[in-house]
């Protein structure tokens, strides 16, 4: 964040007009943001881990939802992006994350990668459970591209591999090949280099693919 952004953040925080949320999926990719935020910084949260699960609503083609859950190891570190937003934008964010519960995160669980002081409410979004387990849900490639591009931008190539290795249920959740005709509403464009890096990392992990229905 620039000095001007930090100054604006501190002024708004003094008026109680700021909240923060921890992004660990598509929200790590700044190109998917749709509200006029104060700024964002790389950060990590302790005690949470990512996993894939079925979405709460059922369709003929069940889609995976990237979520987090409290980790058995309270010191497990989850990297992501801490986003500072205007309080008036909270309903819009809740609408975007309608398949998620908004949870409070204690500031003592957050580590920020830059020297910035803040005292605002911090939230993380935890996916609502699917109605019935075992529905054969799958990951949209267009969504995963947005997530992994975000980690690539913020943390570098190794973060893509770390994301795949550290996210539960990658081994038994197939990926739907919708990159060319994206179903994810906030899809992004990958360069050839980014596409190769992501595809190679997924291939090394042995993920399975499925053609669109």
At 25 the pLDDT is: 95
Q: Using CA of residue 10, residue 11, residue 17, residue 23, what is the dihedral sign?
A: negative
- Report how far apart, in Å, the C-alpha atoms of 81 and of each of 39, 55, 124, 129, 203 are: 10, 23, 11, 24, 26
Whether residue 89 has pLDDT greater than 70: yes
Domains in the chain, number? 1
pLDDT in tens, 132-179: 666 688 999 999 999 999 999 999 999 999 999 999 999 889 999 999
Q: Which of 140, 138, 163, 139 is nearest to 153 (CA)?
A: 163
Query: 35: Cβ–Cβ under 8 A, 6 or more apart, which residues?
Result: 85, 86, 89, 92, 93
At 134 the pLDDT is: 66
Residue-range definition of the domain harbouring residue 157: 3-210
Where residue 187 sits, what CATH number does that domain have? 3.10.490.10
Query: pTM (2 decimals)?
Result: 0.93
């Amino acid at each position: 964040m620039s000095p001007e952004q930090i100054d604006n953040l501190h002024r708004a925080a003094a008026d109680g007009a700021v909240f923060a949320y921890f992004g660990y999926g598509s929200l790590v990719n700044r190109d998917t943001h749709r509200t006029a935020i104060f700024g964002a910084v790389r950060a990590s949260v302790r005690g949470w881990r990512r996993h894939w699960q079925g979405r709460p609503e059922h369709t003929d083609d069940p889609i995976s939802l990237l979520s987090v859950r409290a980790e058995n190891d309270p010191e497990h570190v989850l990297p992501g992006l801490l986003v500072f937003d205007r309080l008036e934008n909270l309903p819009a964010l809740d609408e975007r994350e309608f398949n998620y519960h908004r949870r409070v995160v204690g500031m003592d669980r957050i580590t920020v990668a830059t020297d910035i002081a803040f005292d605002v409410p911090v939230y993380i979004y935890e996916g609502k459970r699917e109605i019935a387990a075992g529905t054969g849900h799958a990951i949209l490639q267009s969504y995963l591209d947005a997530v992994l591009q975000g980690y690539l931008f913020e943390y570098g190539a190794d973060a893509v591999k770390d994301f795949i290795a550290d996210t539960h249920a990658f081994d038994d959740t197939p990926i739907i090949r919708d990159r060319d005709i994206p179903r994810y509403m906030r899809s992004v464009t990958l360069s050839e280099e980014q596409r190769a890096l992501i595809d190679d990392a997924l291939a090394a992990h042995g993920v399975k693919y499925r053609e669109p229905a």
